[in-house]
Amino acid sequence: MSASRRAKPRPAARAEELRPEVPAVPEPVPGVGFAPSLVPPPPEGPLTSLLGEAARLLQKNPEFSSPRAFADLWNLFQHRTRSLDVDDFGFDEPASKSWQTLFEFLYRVWWRVSVTGLENVPGTGRGLLVANHSGVLPWDGAMVKTALRLEHPSRREARMLVLDMFTTLPFLQPWLREMGEVRACPENGERLLSRDELVGVFPEGVKGVGKLFRDRYRLARFGRGGFVRLALRTRAPIIPVSVVGAEEIYPNLLRLDFIGRPLGLPYFPVTPTFPALGLLGTIPLPTKWWIDFGRPIVFDHPSEIAERPMIVNELADKVRSTLQTMIDSRLARRGDVFTGD
């Protein structure tokens, strides 16, 4: 405010200036004195020069002060990180990159993620990442994605298939879409894989992410084998991904489903900190993480096998036991939960 006072504009002229429908503002002639205009001389402090710029802008383009212009300015502000060019599933690359800082911080500093087996993820072409799910909130998906973005030689963009319950929630729906995540259903998976994308699934689903602390690192049932059918139909290799460290970020002691259900949530976790400390309780614990990409599993079966549920279930169980072995061997080598030594 003090800066604007320093500019000492003539008050009558100011009132006239800000009204766009008064066209009688003569053009300022450069060099010669100054016509009745309240545009202050430029170097007068940041606020004055900003106001001056704004006034000059209004003077040049009277349409700037219309309500439409206000709507445009506001919409443009909201779109400042976004692009016009989204893909079929609404993935907005610039918008998703604008969250990179947060994820990189979590990845490098907070959870100090160690990655092995990146050579098992193909540099081009389709692939189906099958990971264990844990940690109440799906941070594990975000970290698998970040690992591939940061550490994979071809900087692959993994498209995670997300549970319905997340993709229909307000605010989460547009955000997940922008980040490139897709609702989990066979049609979406097939479409993505047939476009040679890298697709990530968590076949445990809600049972995995809402697991109790005492059940940690014990894989739940692998859905209905949908991911196997997906791999059979699109001939995509399955790459098992074990995530170790995510089970301990929110030690889920108790599930109060009678609170969660009416709120439309699939579960209501009770952790040592969560309802007790309110929002502070949603800060995950800084455990040490390992993400291991296993050797690709390729099914040589004809795709008709996808219509035989018993065989599909058997194949799913094979993948599940492979993943459980990977998790167990990592757990055996892991020392402290927080330091990893």
Positions 235 through 274 that interact with other proteins (CB under 8 A)? 235-237
Query: Parallel, antiparallel, or unpaired: how do β-strands 269-270 and 254-255 relate?
Result: antiparallel
We find the least distance from the C-beta atom of residue 279 to other proteins, in angstroms, to be 18
Closer residue to other proteins (CB): 304 or 314: 304
Closer residue to other proteins (CB): 100 or 168: 168
Find the binding residues for other proteins in span 193-212 (CB under 8 A): 194-196, 201, 203, 205-206
Residue 178 and residue 92: Cα distance in Å, rounded? 5
How many residues of this chain bind other proteins (CB under 8 A)? Answer: 80
Distances (CA, A) of 213 to 165, 224, 246, 247, 269: 22, 24, 11, 7, 10
With vertex at residue 292, the alpha carbon angle to CA 102 and CA 110, rounded to the nearest 5 degrees, is: 25
Is residue 314 close enough to count as binding other proteins by CB under 8 A? no
For residues 299 and 232, the answer to whether their CB atoms sit within 8 Å is yes
Is residue 223 close enough to count as binding other proteins by CB under 8 A? yes
Q: What is the distance, to the nearest Å, from the Cα of residue 19 to the centroid of all Cα atoms in its chain?
A: 44
Q: In this structure, what are the phi and psi dihedrals at residue 174, rounded to the nearest 5 degrees?
A: -65, -30
Is residue 226 close enough to count as binding other proteins by CB under 8 A? yes
Is residue 56 close enough to count as binding other proteins by CB under 8 A? no
Is residue 75 close enough to count as binding other proteins by CB under 8 A? yes
Is residue 146 close enough to count as binding other proteins by CB under 8 A? no
Find the binding residues for other proteins in span 82-121 (CB under 8 A): 82, 84-90, 92, 120
We find the least distance from the C-beta atom of residue 57 to other proteins, in angstroms, to be 10
User: Where would I find the beta strands (DSSP E) of the chain?
Assistant: 114-116, 127-131, 158-162, 182-183, 198-201, 238-244, 254-255, 269-270, 290-293
Is residue 279 close enough to count as binding other proteins by CB under 8 A? no
